[in-house]
Amino acid sequence: MEVAYLIETIIKVVVVMIVFSALAGIGTYFERKVLAFMQRRLGPMNVGPYGLLQFGADAIKLFTKEDIVPTNVVAPIFKIAPVITAATAFIAAAAIPFLPQFTIFGYTVHPIIADINVGILYILGVMGVGLYGPLLGGMASANKFSLLSAARGAAVFISYEVVTGLSILAPIMMVGSLSLIDFNEYQVENGWMVFNLYGVGFVAFILFWIAAFAETGRTPFHLIANDHEIVDGFGTEYSGMRWGLFFIGEYANMFFISFVIPLLFLGGYGDGSFLGALALLGKVAFFFFFFLWTRAAWPDVRPDQLMWLCWKVLMPIAVVNILIAAIIMI
């Protein structure tokens, strides 16, 4: 059994890495198409039918583009920073149940790499470590704009991790566990609307969702490397696949957080049936689409506005929400 478990775990790790690395590239295609549709453009059209092979062309470009390491950078740190960003995104996925368990050829497969009893804490902790990728990349670059971007990124990540942690305390108090599978089972037994008692769960859901935009560096909280700036933030000095690793990390985080939100608040995969699995994938697709939608519809806010929103609005609401949840439970 130990050998079978080891083989199964290795297979799951490889599948997650391959699938979500590919989805990161495919996600760029959908983003460009969604933005084009909302802005009355065509988007990618030349490579393959309707531009479907554009992500493959982009991948070839990144793999074959020259890897330039500027003269004055701190080379070892400069080289390892993109690896940290991509690695932490995939390491965080270890505690996420992507689908309900199923049986194939008499063997029960658990689509989660490690069902640890502190899964949520583990995910938040690893995603917090992901801050060091952009931070070290900007600090190691011989570019003041990269350094400023890294400082902005550190301020945003640290601030909104506080909101993320506080927002889920109320649901954690109700479930009494940090495992995402336990969260799913609790909602199956009590109904997925159980967290919305007196609005506590709904407030936690909205706070977590808002913080997810800052955690993934997406519009309207895209202060790390604004698209309308001439430079690419902390990634200004990067080229080729090193830049691509930053890119993969960002889109992988978007997919992973799109799994975490429905598992925490919207019933997850339900009772484990086939329809429940489809429902989970549908929820994930909606949240990923919402990331793209906001980029087309919302402008980026200023750094001072973002900090004001975090410390003077969202954090007090999160603290009050915890107190209300505690009073209800008592």
Q: What are the Cα distances from residue 249, in Å, to 80, 113, 312?
A: 14, 19, 30
| pLDDT < 50: residue spans in the chain | none
Rounded Cα gap, residues 25 and 58, in angstroms = 8
pLDDT value of residue 228: 60
Spatial distance between the Cα atoms of 298 and 113, rounded to a whole number of angstroms: 36
Q: What single letter denotes the amino acid at residue 307?
A: M
Predicted pLDDT of residue 261: 94
pTM exceeds cut of 0.85: yes
pLDDT tens-place string over residues 150-199: 888 888 888 899 999 999 998 898 888 899 999 998 888 887 676 776 67
CA dihedral sign, ordered 62, 67, 72, 77: positive
Confidence at residue 209, expressed as pLDDT on a 0 to 100 scale: 94
**Class of residue 141 by CB neighbours under 10 A (exposed 0-12, middle 13-18, buried 19+):** buried
For 116, the token pair is 């640890």
pLDDT at residue number 262? 93
Residue 202 CB partners (closer than 8 Å, separation 6+): 195, 196
CA distances from 44 to 13, 49, 100, 108 (A): 32, 10, 35, 41
Spatial distance between the Cα atoms of 99 and 279, rounded to a whole number of angstroms: 10
Structure-token pair, residue 130? 């992901």
pLDDT given for residue 37 in this prediction: 92
* Rounded CA separation 233/245 (Å): 15
Q: What is the per-residue pLDDT for 203?
A: 92
